[in-house]
Structure 1
Amino acid sequence: MSEHVPDVHGHCDARFAAVRQAFEENFRDRDELGAAVAVTVGGETVVDLWGGWADAAHTRPWERDTLVNVWSTSKGPVALCAHILANRGLLDLDAPVAAYWPEFTAAGKDGVLVRHLLSHRAGLSGLREPHSLQELYDWELTTARLAATQPWWEPGTRSGYHALTYGFLVGEVVRRVSGLRPAAFLEKEVTGPLGIDFTVGLPEQESGRAAELVHPPAAAIREQASSFSQLTPAALAALANPLVGAREANTPEWRAAEIPAANGHGTARAVAALYGIFAGRGAYGGRRILSAEAAERVREGQGSCRDLVLGAGFESETELGLGLWLSGPNGSYGPNPRAVGHDGFGGSCGLADPDAEVSLGYVMNRMGPHVADDPRKMALVDALYSVL
């Protein structure tokens, strides 16, 4: 519990005072260091708050334009790239991946469909051979190894979280179809035209705005390390080949790389805007990015199950759509079971509820130990829906 609650800056419509209260309580009661939260309703920003510190030493206040690595919250924008291509008729989500990436047929993967990549059902949660962090920074090497590797389970039958491989798998299909990797495609088609402050990787000239990620408490790290001994090979491959955390993500090398599943950098406002495209049924900021039908496809459930990588972290089965998690019985993204979103390692999240026309972005730098549904995030989600 913090002895001092830092000043919270920004604006919050009076109707959403409960969100501001929950945000302030995160600092007082849930050990928040630095963070921001943004909410849109009907495409209008109704909450845009930030506060705390951008570094562990408390020397840099969190500012309006502070950026932070949001880990797997990056996966929503990656999925968006694929849906844009599908909307244009350039990518068939029901086609074999090999139709666009011929080398992918190796090791019995000729039946893997594009939808299996989007929904973590390809069986490629991680590589079978050791893959170092430096090798992860090499796009061509990483995608070539994924194309050659054998699935850990029968593709299409179960979901198993593709923690780091997701962005290379979906991203290489985006590259094969469009000629651009996800970072460049997203900037050209979405973030550039809409003026959204989000990048995959972080340009060196923006490094001064980046918050320092801070590890969870030591006891939580020890508990996490102990749990690795109980993981299946498929889960170990997903979560520890290579093993990455706050220390690695604070380096210039990580920021310079393109790891679309895990190194998106942005503000809460940017995350709310990107997920706001899905909340707005394909439209945001006066621009139509997807048709309403194409935007709805992200909520197309692929079957609930106990996830083969993250299963132990949830009280019940979970279900993925085509790129985002359904809120489901866990209420991870509010009480509408068909709301969608994505959490990032340590606590960040993006939420989209087209039925309520609501999006939320939450980013922070003190990483928590939870697999998903960090208490700080859930306090904000619960507060939001309490006033809708």
Structure 2
Amino acid sequence: MTGLRPWWARVPDPVIDAVIVAVASADVWFSLGEEGGVERAMAALACLALAVRRRFPLAVFLLTLPASLMLDIVFAPFAALFTLAERCRDRRLLITCAVLFAVASAAPWPLDALSSHDRTWTLVYFFYTLATAATPVLLGQLLQARRDLARQLVEIEEAREHERLLHAQAVLARERAQLAREMHDVVSHQVSLIAVQAGALQVAAKDPDVKEGVRTIRSLSVGTLDELRQMVTLLRASGGHATELTPQPTLADLHELVATSGITTNLTGELPPDIGTPAQRALYRTVQEALTNVRKHAPGAAATVRLWQADDGAALGVTVTNTPPTRPSLPLPGSHQGLVGLRERAELLGGTFESGPTADGGYQVRLRLPARAD
């Protein structure tokens, strides 16, 4: 990916900072005339402050205003304003800063040197400078939007890849279940008939060689049935990977799910180990779907997974809460059936499922199951 970046994106930041400070200094040099020490000091401060504009964009911009008031310079305040617009999402602040720059550039220096004729020209120059200040603001916002879009495209691709993996696992599970049914209903039935017929023939046969042959057939049939039962058990298990045969997830797998979720997640609480397998599966799937939705619809949010049990021991469940997103998100493709499926699963077990936004702009899902849900 590095080779696809434009050449200017591969230039080290210190080199860019040095060039910007040098250009700003040249702009100041050509603007200096008979100015005194105060003007020169403000100009030097404005140029040097550009070296740390990435860390303190607002402070650096404010430091360029005195030089803009005292001297006819443009580059230093424009560079500071562009950096601020690239990093700030508060548009009211950006508009305020652009107005401050226009006022500083249009105001006369010294401030008392203002005639009636100059007032008209100052007002015209103010609006002209304000329109010019929109350029670094718009460029900075454009670069910020481009960076956000690139990040969102990466998240969309990751979400699609995750959905493709889940779909492949679901198809594999369905195929295994279908194959298990076929083996149980057809192959096992036919092998059982072979064993029964061989047993009957062993009893009825008179020839010792025939008896030995059908005894071998019956023995092999019984062994094959035992192997088939084990294979059916394995095939009915839902594998996490295409090359593995693993059992359905339980509460013991929650720690790995949280650790590999790709978001900042805090797992709290615990539940008794004797919970029924269907209930454990429902709790796990609820957490899995909730964390997937956080990844897709709340970029940059953190999540809290809380396992809980009622004081009277009659109910238990899980609550997954995420904070508001810290970055804009784009609509992601999906079936929109995840929460519906969780609600149906909860109702089958005699429980309830709730979901909705929180007061601070986040989202919460809550699963409640009877303590003895089977």
- When normalised by structure 1's length, the TM-score is 0.19
Greater C-alpha Rg: 2
Of Structure 1 and Structure 2, the greater helix share is in 2
Q: Which of the pair has the greater relative contact order for Cα pairs under 8 Å at 6+ separation?
A: 1
